[in-house]
């Protein structure tokens, strides 16, 4: 439960920082459409907090890093990058067979691969 709260906090902070970086003034010709993806990301973060998992196909890198960190994966930044590199994953590959084979090339060990996969879902 604590890991899910931590992940939600990390994602919320990232989403907030994104909104602040985009600015809220419409006088510069920028519309407020940036809030829509942030809201969608926040919804995905709430769903991830409930299950402890994020979409292997759709989650942005920061959400993957947070989920991998919460799952106890060492060096979550590196492994999030690898998950993104091997996208997309087939919806019927719920055991992440293809991802497991690709990760095994980097020799992280079965325990680490299992932790990585434990943080992911395929929509």
More confident residue, 4 or 89: 89
Say how far apart CA 89 and CA 123 lie, in whole Å: 9
pLDDT over threshold 50, residue 84: yes
pLDDT, residue 73, reads 97
pLDDT category at 18 given cuts 50, 70, 90 is very low
pLDDT, residue 46, reads 53
Q: Under 8 Å CB-to-CB from 90, ≥6 apart: which residues?
A: 98, 122
What share of the chain in percent tops pLDDT 70? 59
pTM for the structure as a whole = 0.62
Q: What is the pLDDT of residues 93-121, one digit of tens each?
A: 999 999 999 999 999 999 999 999 999 99
pLDDT, residue 21, reads 43
pLDDT, residue 49, reads 54
Q: Rounded to 5 degrees, what angle do the CA atoms 98, 53, 91 make?
A: 40
Instruction: Give the residue carrying structure tokens 């600015």.
Output: 23
pLDDT over threshold 80, residue 63: yes
pLDDT, residue 96, reads 97
């Amino acid at each position: 439960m604590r890991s899910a709260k931590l992940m939600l906090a990390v994602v919320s902070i990232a989403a907030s920082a994104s909104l602040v970086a985009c600015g809220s003034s419409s006088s510069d010709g920028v519309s407020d459409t940036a809030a829509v993806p942030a809201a969608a990301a926040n919804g995905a973060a709430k769903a991830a907090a409930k299950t402890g998992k994020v979409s292997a196909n759709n989650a942005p890198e920061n959400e993957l890093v947070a989920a991998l960190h919460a799952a106890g994966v060492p060096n979550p930044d590196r492994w999030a990058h690898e998950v993104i590199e091997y996208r997309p994953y087939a919806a019927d590959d719920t055991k992440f067979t293809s991802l497991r084979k690709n990760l095994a090339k980097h020799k992280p060990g079965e325990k680490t691969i299992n932790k990585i996969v434990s943080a992911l879902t395929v929509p």
